[in-house]
Amino acid sequence: MLRGPPRDRGDARRRPGAHGRRDARRRQRRPRRAPRRADSQAALGEGFLDVRRDGRPVNRVHPQPPIALTIAGSDSGGGAGIQADLHTFAAHGVHGTSVLTAITAQNTRGVTAAEPVAAGLVRAQLDAVLGDFPVAAVKTGMLGGAELLELVAEYGQADRLPNLVVDPVMVTTTGDPLYAGDPAAYLGGLGPLATVMTPNLIEARQLLGREIESVEEMREAARALATYGPRAVLVKGGHLDRDGAAAVDVLWCDGQMLDLSAPRVATRNDHGTGCTLASAIAARLALGHPLPQAVAGAKVYVTEAMKAAAAWRLGTGRGPLHHHHGRKSAAL
């Protein structure tokens, strides 16, 4: 290596003793070597964060991020779908991979057009991602209809979709339909493969074919949906009691019921809350959080992302969340 003459750093740095003290400090602060790990463990992709036994994260930096996969549709407005999922993964320090299932022309006011991606191309994306990356968690969003749902289920049945978070996307916040198939196909196809399913109130009603009007009925719905095989069901209450003080979701997990309540944020910017919540759960599972803590932590993340974007006017309708709240811009 070529070396030039030592650079003149100014007189202040040449004071006697200054270098000696700095060198001593440098010696003390030797770069820490990454802990040795078995190759198989490294291949699983450790996260930026470890977790304590009680599920709280330990702030220890790992050499590389874990990997999550989102199988979802594109939202041209950037607030929901693939775009929200990748923001959320990045905000969690998780590397995001994506399989695009549909393209929607969408903004904060609604969906004006939507087309599914051909099944062969969805399969090719799945093979490309799963054949190369050690994916640690997967989230499904818009699947559009029975054909792609069955295709995704095929990969789940082959044990290729670990820590599977199924958001049974059927309609947008603005009421536009995003799923053309039979809702029951969700339960039969992906129910038994899901680590957790996250229907909103409207989706839970369609899946079960009954009204759900209260938190108690949400709890009954979660129990009923769990009989189709997922380890956990989170029924989201964003659409219940919109003028109330709290946004209450219910989680049925490993035979236990948990109410997850957060202060309701007064904002019109609630576009993509469900996508963000499901991908935050997947990101946390990829980081190694236990399931109930992953869900509870994801709920806190969504609430904070809503609060941080509450005053935004990014479009004229229901705008997106601030996925990177609490972080400085890379441009600063």
Ligand X SMILES: Nc1ncnc2c1ncn2[C@@H]1O[C@H](COP(=O)(O)OP(=O)(O)OP(=O)(O)O)[C@@H](O)[C@H]1O
Ligand Y SMILES: Cc1ncc(CO)c(N)n1
By a kind-dependent CB cut-off of 5 to 8 A, residue 141 interacts, out of ligand Y, ligand X, none, with ligand Y
Radius of gyration of the chain (CA): 23
Query: Which amino acid would we find at residue 98?
Result: S
Of ligand X, ligand Y, none, which one does residue 247 interact with (CB within 5 to 8 Å by kind)? ligand X
Query: Which span (101-109, 214-222, 223-231, 295-303) binds ligand X, by CB under 6 A?
Result: 295-303
Nearer to ligand Y, 163 or 279 (CB): 279
In the complex, which residues of this chain contact ligand Y (CB under 6 A)? 72-75, 80-81, 104, 106, 141-142, 169, 172-173, 178, 272, 274-275
Which CB, 46 or 249, lies closer to ligand Y?
Answer: 249
Tokens of 299: 């709920």
Binding residues among 68-87 for ligand X as defined by CB under 6 A:
80
Shortest approach of ligand X to residue 63 CB, angstroms? Answer: 33
Q: Of 45 and 195, which has the nearer Cβ to ligand X?
A: 195
Which partner in ligand X, ligand Y, none is near 238 (CB below 5 to 8 A by kind)?
ligand X
> What mask, x for binding ligand X by CB under 6 A, covers residues 249 to 268?
x------------x-xx---
Within 133-192, the residues that bind ligand X by CB under 6 A are 172-173
